[in-house]
Amino acid sequence: MRTGSASGGGGRLAAVAVVVVLGLLGAGFLLGQLTGGRDPVAKRDSPAPDRPSRARLAPPPARMPPPLPPREQPVSGPNHPPLPAEQGGPFGSRFTTGTPEVALTFDDGPHPQWTPQVLTMLADYGVKATFCLVGTKAAKYPQLVRDIAAAGHTLCNHSWDHDMALGMRDEQAVLADLERANAAIRAAVPGARISYFRQPGGFWSKRVVEAAHRLGMTSLHWRVDPQDWDSSPAYRIASDVNSQTVPGAIVLLHDGGGDRRSTLAALRTILPHLLTRFHLAALPPGRDAPRESESADSDARGGGNRWFPN
């Protein structure tokens, strides 16, 4: 009897086990049907860890330190002293600010689509920068030149028509080109101080640096070049700038000369990131001191300096 009873109990246990197993299998099947087997596909679709993803463009995580507090002394503007000497760049051009401040520079504009967006983004973050303007573009879009100057950014000459061979031309041709670009900028912003020149393509020569110097301009190379002009994706531009920028770096970016969507997307990452590590400043007026420039402009034009009253 014990055996029978035992075997009867074992049968009940087996039956219960079968029901439980079937129930589990059924639930698993049902779940599979409900999810439609999407999970494995979703996993395949998610990017591999070493693949670029949009997540890299997201704002920095909350654990990043807050932006540096504002300085008591202005780091740019009409009363800021000229840049300290530095002859590190090609042919005596400079590639750092010579101070701890980092300078963002934007070349090849102004451009009606991209420049206003760059200006808005810089304003959102309270950052002043330097714009290297092409003369033909300044002549075509004078209001944009006025917008740049009115926002307190520094102006830089980027040649009349982005002549990459300018450095090989004779001295008179170089001077005429640079003067023509300056005239276009000053036609938009009377009395504008233009203290910097950047050779298109970075194809510097001794002659072009000397010509810029004769016209009161410091030749401006760069320290960080993320090649945003070369269809670089935003994540690459941002990671290059954020990883290569050191105190005093001049950073080369573009607000003209092509599709600048990637630069704009990258700026959304670059600006908050750099602001936690550096003071970002427009380059100061340079070696033509405010009073010299103002009196020269006033003498030449018979009027005051509208944009730089000091």
Q: Which residues are tagged catalytic?
A: 107, 254
Q: Is 225 in the site for Zn ion (CB under 5 A)?
A: no
Tell me how far apart the alpha carbons of residues 12 and 290 are, in angstroms, rounded to a whole number. Answer: 100
Contact call for residue 89 and Zn ion (CB under 5 A): no
- Smaller CB distance to Zn ion: residue 162 or 236? 162
Q: Does 108 bind Zn ion (CB under 5 A)?
A: yes
Residue nearest to Zn ion (CB): 107
The correct pick among 78, 109, 110, 200 for binding Zn ion (CB under 5 A) is: 200
Which stretch in 84-92, 111-119, 180-188, 197-205 sits in contact with Zn ion by CB under 5 A? 197-205
- Tell me how crowded residue 56 is: count the other CB atoms within 10 A of its CB: 13
Our finding on whether 228 is near Zn ion (CB under 5 A) is no
Residue 149 forms beta bridges with which residues? none
Phi and psi at residue 265, to the nearest 5°: -65, -40
Mark out the alpha helices in the chain (DSSP H runs).
Answer: 2-35, 38-45, 115-125, 135-140, 142-150, 171-188, 206-214, 234-244, 261-275, 290-301
290 binds Zn ion (CB under 5 A): no
3-state secondary structure of 194: strand
From the list 101, 107, 177, 297, which residue makes contact with Zn ion (rule: CB under 5 A)? 107
Measured from the CB atom, is 200 or 226 closer to Zn ion? Answer: 200
Q: Which is nearer to Zn ion, 157 or 195 (CB)?
A: 157
In terms of CB distance, is 101 or 107 closer to Zn ion? 107
CA separation for the pair 152, 106 (Å, rounded): 14
Say how many residues touch Zn ion, by CB under 5 A. Answer: 3
Residues in the site for Zn ion, rule: CB under 5 A? 107-108, 200
